[in-house]
């Protein structure tokens, strides 16, 4: 198959309940693609990611990962407990040990060179996210999975982080799957956006999604902002109707 991950008809139940978190979701990501999943809180974004990684039991559907697929993962809200003393260098060697040279190179690539001896708990939010990204890049991943990677960053930090993600894609050729709240920035950085709310509400290019009624119904005023962005930058694109067959999902 050409896709790195292909999923069909994913249905996931809330742990210990019969309520569905996700219902009948189809998904795929191809090499070098940047795909972003947006959706309100509780829309099943993280569950989708965890199911794609195989961390979550499926009530129905199937996930196929390309055999031997190397995935670099930055989970949501990594809280490092202050009870564990841990330098950045030691953290990069968990669970697989890496050489000092590879560690230094990964840190340099994400713009945090020289922090090896620092304790994880002494890093700022932005530095910590970059260290997590460096760790995810260590074993030459074909796919990077980032779940809310900019949580806790300020606006300039968010913009800088997405710039870094694009650089990483450019340098490594890894495909990137992101879950995000940062509608405006994400819209610019993605090849494809999936708008999720228990099912796929709409899906397609950022331009397409930002003008889709389902997306605007979910995000309201914030959606107007991203639409304005595209009106402004892509006026000439907007009459095209070929995007509209992308509307998908079980309503």
Partner 1 sequence: MLDDFFARAMLAGLGIAAVAGPLGSFVVWRRMAYFGDATAHAAILGVAVSLAFQISIYAGTTLVAAAMAVTISGLVTRGQSMDTMLGVLSHSALAIGLVAISFVPQARSDLSAYLFGDILAVGRGDLALIWAGAAGVLALLAWRWQRLLTASLNEELAMAAGIDPRVERLLLSIALAVVVALSIRVVGSLLISAMLIVPAAAARGLSRSPERMVGNAVLIAALAVMGGLTASLYLDTPAGPSIITAAAGFFALSQVFRRA
Q: List residues binding partner 1 (CB under 8 A).
A: 15-16, 50, 53, 55, 71, 73, 75-76, 78-81, 83-87, 90-91, 94-97, 119
Cβ nearer to partner 1, comparing 130 with 208: 130
Instruction: Give the integer Cα–Cα distance in Å for 105 and 158.
Output: 23
Tokens (6 digits) for 208: 């397409």
User: Minimum distance from CB of 22 to partner 1 (Å)?
Assistant: 18
Cβ nearer to partner 1, comparing 87 with 205: 87
Instruction: Give the integer Cα–Cα distance in Å for 91 and 105.
Output: 15
Cβ nearer to partner 1, comparing 22 with 145: 145
User: Minimum distance from CB of 227 to partner 1 (Å)?
Assistant: 34
User: Minimum distance from CB of 95 to partner 1 (Å)?
Assistant: 4
Instruction: Give the integer Cα–Cα distance in Å for 121 and 78.
Output: 11
User: Minimum distance from CB of 75 to partner 1 (Å)?
Assistant: 4
Cβ nearer to partner 1, comparing 147 with 182: 147
Cβ nearer to partner 1, comparing 26 with 64: 64
Q: Helix 155-172 vs helix 125-137: angle between axes, to the nearest 10 degrees? A: 10
Q: What share of the chain is helix, strand, coil (3-state, %, to 5)?
A: 40, 20, 40
User: Minimum distance from CB of 92 to partner 1 (Å)?
Assistant: 12
């Amino acid at each position: 198959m050409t896709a790195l991950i292909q999923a069909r008809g994913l249905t996931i139940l809330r742990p210990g309940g019969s309520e569905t978190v996700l219902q009948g979701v189809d998904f795929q990501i191809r090499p070098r693609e940047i795909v972003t999943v947006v959706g309100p809180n509780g829309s099943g974004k993280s569950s989708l990611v965890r199911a794609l990684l195989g961390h979550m039991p499926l009530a129905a559907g199937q996930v196929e990962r390309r055999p031997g697929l190397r995935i670099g993962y930055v989970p949501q809200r990594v809280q490092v407990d202050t009870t564990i003393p841990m330098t950045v260098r030691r953290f990069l060697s968990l669970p697989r040990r890496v050489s000092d040279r590879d560690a230094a190179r990964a840190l340099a690539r994400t713009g945090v060179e020289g922090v090896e001896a620092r304790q994880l708990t002494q890093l700022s939010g932005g530095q910590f996210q970059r260290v997590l990204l460096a760790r995810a890049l260590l074993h030459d991943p074909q796919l990077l999975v980032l779940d809310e990677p900019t949580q806790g960053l300020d606006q300039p930090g968010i913009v800088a982080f997405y710039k870094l993600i694009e650089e990483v894609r450019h340098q490594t050729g890894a495909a990137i799957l992101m879950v995000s709240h940062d509608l405006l920035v994400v819209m610019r950085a993605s090849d494809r956006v999936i708008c999720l709310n228990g099912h796929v509400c709409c899906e397609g290019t950022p331009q397409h999604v930002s003008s889709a009624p389902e997306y605007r119904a979910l995000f309201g005023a914030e959606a107007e902002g991203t639409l304005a962005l595209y009106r402004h930058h892509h006026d000439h694109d907007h009459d095209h109707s070929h995007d509209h067959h992308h509307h998908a999902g079980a309503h």
